[in-house]
Amino acid sequence: MSELHRQLQEYLAIRRAMGFKMERHAKLLGQFADYLAAHDAATLTIEHALAWASAPSSADPRWWSARLSMVRGFAVHLHALDPIHQVPPRGLMPGGSRRTVPYLYTDPEIAALVQAASELSFPLRAATYQTLIRLLAVTGMRVGEAIRLDREDLDDEFGLLTVRGTKFGKSRQLPLHPTAIAGLRDYLDLRDRLLPDPSTSALLLSARGFRLRYERLWETFHRLVAQAALRSRSPGCTPKIHDLRHTFAVTTLLGWYRDGADVRAMLPRLSTYLGHADPKHTYWYLSAAPELLALAADRLDAHQKDLR
């Protein structure tokens, strides 16, 4: 083990002690440490960081930025131990910390994605992606949370789905509509017939009976978007799988406004359901759709008139 590999293990241990999972960081930063070792580099330099982060030339620039961001965190740790290590400055790659414009799916667009998934090769693979898209659309859970679901996390008797080990180290229970429970039961019946002895405890299975991998899922979803003929609404508003979460949040808020609910009082519930560590992160969705902003403005205007 090289000195950089040893220091990486120390960095990961510190971050985990602070409550961060670091699963993807461990994998990618391990690859970065291997890259440095292969280049006989004993120190972390900006040049090496950029070269490694942008190595997959066909990848989305946002993926390059995410890789560089992980390296930057490690570099800050190393620089504190020895200033010889260089810290890549922020903004070297576009698309890092800026919020992109969410692509809010319509019901027909979600249906088109599900239909496209039904045409994937292998019946189990098709059923898994159909179930995944529907599950993300009706729960707003994070993609990583859906991948980590185990079969035992579904309590179909009480209509509950337990999301464990979330982004902030907490677990939560999601009540599901009876139609969602019925859909999950149908999926489980099918997968039990097609693959009665899977290699994992995962709820959602790949065609070979393994837990889904995020990278492969991302690639497949992009193909489904193309097959469903979904088009970007602007250069910064392209259909992404995470936008199913945005769509769920915005649709929920719109429904509350239209029903005349006390949105301010209800927001903490949505925050808990989405697994946000702080309700302020849920407030961001208020700016995600023009209609939502208009309804919020109308509600504020009516409230101010009542105070006069």
CA distance 134 to 161: 14
Q: Is 27 a catalytic residue?
A: no
Q: Is the dihedral of CA 187, 193, 194, 197 positive or negative?
A: positive
- Catalytic entry in 16, 151, 172, 242: 242
242 in catalytic set: yes
Give yes or no: 276 in active site: yes
Write out the DSSP string of the chain. --HHHHHHHHHHHHHHHTT---HHHHHHHHHHHHHHHHTT-SS--HHHHHHHHT-STTS-HHHHHHHHHHHHHHHHHHHHH-TTS--PPTTSSTTSSSPPPP----HHHHHHHHHHHHTSSSHHHHHHHHHHHHHHHHH---HHHHHH-BGGGEETTTTEEEE-S-TTS--EEEE--HHHHHHHHHHHHHHHHH-SS-SS-BSSB-TTSSBPPHHHHHHHHHHHHHHTT---SBTTB---TTHHHHHHHHHHHHHHHHTT--HHHHHHHHHHHHT-SSTHHHHGGGGS-HHHHHHHHHHHHHHHHHH-
d(CA 90, CA 67): 13
Q: Say how far apart CA 141 and CA 174 lie, in whole Å.
A: 9
Query: Is 245 a catalytic site residue?
Result: yes
Task: Please indicate whether residue 222 is annotated as part of the active site.
Answer: no
- Say which of 25, 134, 240, 276 is annotated catalytic: 276
The residue annotated as part of the active site, out of 6, 27, 90, 167, is 167
Q: In whole angstroms, give the CA distance from residue 270 to residue 285.
A: 11
Set 142, 151, 164, 299: catalytic member: 142
24 is an active site residue: no
Q: Which of 245, 246, 257, 273 is catalytic?
A: 245
**Active-site annotation, residues:** 142, 167, 242, 245, 276, 285
